[in-house]
Amino acid sequence: MRTIEWRDGKVITIDQMKLPHEEVFIEMKNCEEVAEAIKTMKIRGAPLIGAAAAYGLALTAYHSKANSREELLAELERCGEMLRRTRPTAVNLFWAVDRVLKKANNVEGDVGTIAEKVVEEANLIAEEDVEANRRMGKFGAQLIEDGDTILTHCNAGALATVDYGTALGVIRAAWEEGKKIRVIATETRPKLQGARLTVYELMRDGIPVTLITDNMVGYVMYKGLVSKVIVGADRIVRDAVINKIGTYTVAVLAHEHNIPFYVAAPTSTFDLDKTSSQVVIEERNSQEVTHVLSVQIAPDGVKVLNPAFDVTPLKYVSAIICEKGILKPKETNFELKLESLNLIDSQ
Ligand code: MRU
């Protein structure tokens, strides 16, 4: 299930706003279309947003009519700016834009050579994401036992990445190893990524899944129905994991019930130069709260708060699974340093 693909100067992806009822593929031909798809959440999920942004730059380079290197680099810079303004929280977006622009600036040669290398770099980012998810899956599966029921929040599956998924990648890997597991998926208001996307992915794979509303998490934990929690991340900073709104509530409840709380994310989601107070939490449109899908449920004119992400301090995180291994924040005194990751079971 590949979520994004480069095909002869076009980028193909599935429109996630139409799932699960319609499987509509969209074709993007320029940077503006990619930026629009990210902004409107046809494309969403931190690693996928990163790969899409890289492809936005690739489209600009591939179709450019620039006559000089300087002209092309300026066009790429403008596309990068447009992409950076789409969504503020997932760091993969900024990481991918910076990486591709750096590549373009460092290439020696003419316009054609730069364009070729930019497309190559975007494809590499996409390939690396799939590889990272597969590796993360293998590491993470070691934490999953036969018979576990795993609660997940939002969608950190193939749809949120280029393929396979982060949190759902771990679940898939455990399932592929023959472990008999079950999943509880939260619906994830307001955009319902859990109900629409996680359930869709797991049912396609034949992995048993039960859907609950977000306010049922406490109840299922209290009843002893959850063995582990696994979620993805939009940004991991020195003191916290920033992920879909509601993650913090799940983490605190897991802590109270002694349930391990795991985060699965590639190192492209790590932003270890920052702490949580330096990260912009995206505030989205009030209509996402006053309406469920397109049906209005609240009275006209009500005041609304709609932060798209929240901040989970590392004290609630039992382990972070990345493509390099398993990091236990508690054992590193919350001081996450990429250079000195306290890895167990790394290759
Ligand atoms: O607003 P979204 O749907 O882009 O947010 C996605 C999430 O919060 C995911 O849980 C996170 O990106 C991890 S994706 C592998």
Going from the Cα of 3 to the center of ligand 1, the distance in angstroms, rounded, reads: 14
Number of other residues whose CB lies within 10 A of the CB of residue 57: 28
Which pLDDT does position 329 carry in this prediction?
Answer: 77
Q: How far is the CA of 154 from the centre of ligand 1 (A)?
A: 7
Distance CA 59, CA 320 (A): 34
Written as six digits, the tokens of 60 are 């600009």
- Predicted pLDDT of residue 287: 97
Active site residue 146: no
> If we measure between CA atoms, which residue out of 95, 80, 187 comes closest to residue 132?
95
Tell me how far the alpha carbon of residue 233 lies from the centroid of ligand 1, in angstroms.
7
Interval between CA 27 and ligand 1 midpoint (Å): 22
What pLDDT, on a 0 to 100 scale, did the predictor assign at position 331? 62
Best residue among 189, 193, 306 to mutate for probing ligand 1, ranked by most atoms within 8 Å of CB: 193
Q: What is the pLDDT of residue 341?
A: 52
Give the per-residue pLDDT at 112: 97
Instruction: State the pLDDT at residue 71.
Output: 97
Name the residue of 44, 250, 262, 309 to mutate for ligand 1: max ligand atoms within 8 A of Cβ.
44
Q: Give me the pLDDT at residue 346, please.
A: 37
Structure tokens at 179: 């472990």
Please list every protein residue whose CB sits less than 6 Å from any atom of ligand 1: 44-47, 90, 154, 156, 160-161, 166, 193, 232-234, 243-244, 308
CA triple 244-324-167, angle to 5 deg: 30
- Given the CA of residue 265, which atom of ligand 1 is nearest to it? 15
Residue 213's nearest CA partner among 227, 198, 195 is: 195
Positions in the chain whose pLDDT score sits under 70: 330-347
Please give the pLDDT value at position 258: 98
Global pTM value: 0.95
In this structure, the residue with its CA closest to atom 15 of ligand 1 is 156
Q: How far apart are CA 94 and CA 92, in angstroms?
A: 6
